[in-house]
Amino acid sequence: MTTREHEQAVIPNPQEFNPAWLDDDAEFDDDISQDWAPQTGAAQELPLFDQLLRLGGGQQVEERTIQVESPGWRAMPTFIPLESWQGQVLEVSGETFTARLNSETDLTAEDAEFEIEAVSSTDMELLEPGAVFYWNVGYRVDPGGRRARQSVVSFRRLPAYSQSVLDEIAREATAISADLEWLREDGS
Amino acid sequence: MSSYRIETEGISLVVAGAFSPASYTPGWFAAHKLLSAGDAEAADVKVVTNDVSQFQTDQLIVQVTSQQIEINTSQSPYEAARDLMLGALSLAGSPPLRALGFNLRRHYQVEDVEAWHRAGHAIVPQEFWNDLLEDPGMRRVQMQGKREDGLEGNINVQLEPSVKITNGIYVSVNSHFELNSEEPGSLDLAIELLETRFESELAEAMRLTDRLVEQIA
């Protein structure tokens, strides 16, 4: 399938468009060619598959953006956050766990208790003292526009360090410790 | 209802550099504990080739080409996209990186069609164009500003009619950082920015879009 064929295949019914601050009877203009986009910017809708192959280097990346979602992507709900915390698990006990919460808005810290039922099954393997998680409260808006208040607990996933990286960290820590010891003996 | 309301919101992270798309599969991310096994198994894989890899989980959309990694999400927590990018970069070896972008995109709904028209005219006054075009209408405005933190890059703001929301305004903010792939340490800088600037860059982008729409809606 050529690039042009692919683009034409996904241009939707123009009547579904509300293209601009034009009169309501304005015709749809499909000449959206060579719209400049910032080098790391995101289009209003996710770019078509074929566009990804034409992203290049240089000062600017020109990205042809057609303002529709690729029909391949599953419509996702959106979340409009109202309040966010980052937490660290202190203790897991029975059907609850306690955590130290740090607010991302007012930088305060407090301890709180959560029900383990609030943890997704996919995150249960991560629930242990010391684990970091995010707690967000806001509105979930489904693709149909329905809103519901939602509270989400999600545990942080970062790559496990390889043994070589751990060894390097240990070497650096030893070196720093030796430097600090020298400073203490020096009385500085 | 106030004069405007956020109807949908999403963020994306984009890193430009040199990558091997075929490596970035749901299984690979799960093997490194960056995705749960369940999310990886349930992922909708669009394509995995040497040129491009695309897949979607319940929470994230990942797109990788030989020149960039892009991770999108519209769901809480946004930090999951950041953490996935951190993991992908940490495990990518030492690829030369050219740029990093934090992106916020929002669809606002304004009160009515008159307010929607007023918003467009506030950004691009019709009077200037009336002598040049018949029934002029604003399709898209892109503005670029300098970074205020002394780092190389810029702030890019885009505003246009929403294609999702009736009487809607789409606003996106791209906080762009140049990483200079020819200098050693571009990977370290990218990781540092992701770890230390993610929340603040998005918070600033949210404030900017709110202020913008408040002034025109």
pLDDT above 90: percentage of residues in chain B: 79
Q: Nearest to residue B195, comparing CAs of A45, A59, A132?
A: A132
Average pLDDT over residues B176-192: 85
Say yes or no for a CB contact (<8 Å) between B76 and A38: no
Burial B163-181 (b: 16+ CB within 10 A, else e): bbbebbbbbbbbbbbbbeb
CA distance B174 to B158: 8
Q: What is the DSSP string of B126-153?
A: HHHHHTTSSS-----EEEEEE-SSSSSE
| The pLDDT value given to residue A11 | 33
Q: Nearest to residue B91, comparing CAs of B19, B178, B36, B181?
A: B19
Per-residue tokens: A172 = 């650096």
Higher per-residue pLDDT: A65 or A118: A118
Q: Nearest to residue B205, comparing CAs of B177, B157, B173?
A: B173
Collapsing DSSP states into helix, strand and coil, what is residue A170? helix
**Residue A50: how many other CB atoms lie within 10 Å:** 18
| The pLDDT value given to residue A176 | 79
CA distance B8 to B159: 15
| The pLDDT value given to residue A98 | 96
Average pLDDT over residues B141-166: 94
Shortest distance, CA A187 to any CA of chain B (angstroms): 34
Per-range mean pLDDT, top range of A32-41, A42-51, A153-162, B54-63: B54-63
State residue B197 phi and psi, 5-degree precision.
Answer: -115, -5
Per-residue pLDDT at A21 exceeds 50? no
Per-residue pLDDT at A187 exceeds 90? no
CA distance B150 to B164: 36
Contact of B57 with B42, CB cutoff 8 Å = yes
Alpha-helical runs (H) found in A27-162: 49-52
Per-residue pLDDT at B124 exceeds 50? yes
Flag whether residue B61 sits within 8 Å of chain A, measured between CB atoms: yes
Is omega for the bond preceding B77 within 30 degrees of 0, making it cis?
Answer: yes
The answer for residues whose C-beta is within 8 angstroms of residue A88's C-beta and 6 or more apart is A99, A100, A130, A131, A132, A133
Average pLDDT over residues B168-196: 89
- Residue among A38, A86, A104 minimizing CB distance to B174: A38
CA distance B198 to B85: 11
Higher per-residue pLDDT: A166 or A68: A166
Cβ neighbours of B138 in A, within 8 Å: 20-21
What kind and span of H or E run contains A101? strand A96-103
Full 3-state SS string of B170-208:
EEEEEEEEECCCCCCCHHHHHHHHHHHHHHHHHHHHHHH
| The pLDDT value given to residue B203 | 93
Shortest distance, CA A9 to any CA of chain B (angstroms): 17
**CA angle in degrees (0–180, nearest 5) for A10-A11-A15:** 135
Average pLDDT over residues B210-215: 94
Average pLDDT over residues B35-50: 94
What kind and span of H or E run contains A179? helix A163-186
| The pLDDT value given to residue A8 | 33
Full 3-state SS string of A27-40:
CCCCCCCCCEECCC
Indicate the residue type of B13.
L
Place of tokens 């692919």: A6
What kind and span of H or E run contains A149? strand A147-155
Per-residue tokens: B4 = 């405007």
- Residue among B59, B76, B139 minimizing CB distance to A138: B76
So what's the ipTM on this one? 0.80
Say yes or no for a CB contact (<8 Å) between B103 and A41: yes
CA distance B159 to B105: 10
CA distance A48 to A65: 8
Among the ranges given (A4-8, A174-178, B46-50), the one the predictor scored with the smallest mean pLDDT = A4-8
Per-residue pLDDT at B117 exceeds 70? yes
Flag whether residue B180 sits within 8 Å of chain A, measured between CB atoms: no
Kindly tell me the burial class for residue B13, based on how many C-beta atoms sit within 10 Å of its own C-beta (0-12, 13-18, 19 or more): buried
pLDDT band at A17 (very low <50, low <70, confident <90, very high): very low
Task: Kindly report the average pLDDT of chain A as a whole number.
Answer: 67
Q: Nearest to residue A127, comparing CAs of A96, A103, A106, A104?
A: A96
Kindly tell me the burial class for residue B204, based on how many C-beta atoms sit within 10 Å of its own C-beta (0-12, 13-18, 19 or more): middle
Cβ neighbours of B170 in A, within 8 Å: 44
pLDDT band at B217 (very low <50, low <70, confident <90, very high): confident
pLDDT above 70: percentage of residues in chain B: 98
| The pLDDT value given to residue B68 | 95
Per-residue pLDDT at A166 exceeds 50? yes
Cβ neighbours of B90 in A, within 8 Å: 158-159
Contact of A154 with A134, CB cutoff 8 Å = yes
**CA angle in degrees (0–180, nearest 5) for B81-A123-B193:** 25
Read off the pLDDT of residues A36-93 as tens digits, 9 standing for 90 and up: 444 687 655 544 443 443 333 333 333 333 333 444 677 888 888 888 899 999 999 9
CA distance B171 to B212: 9
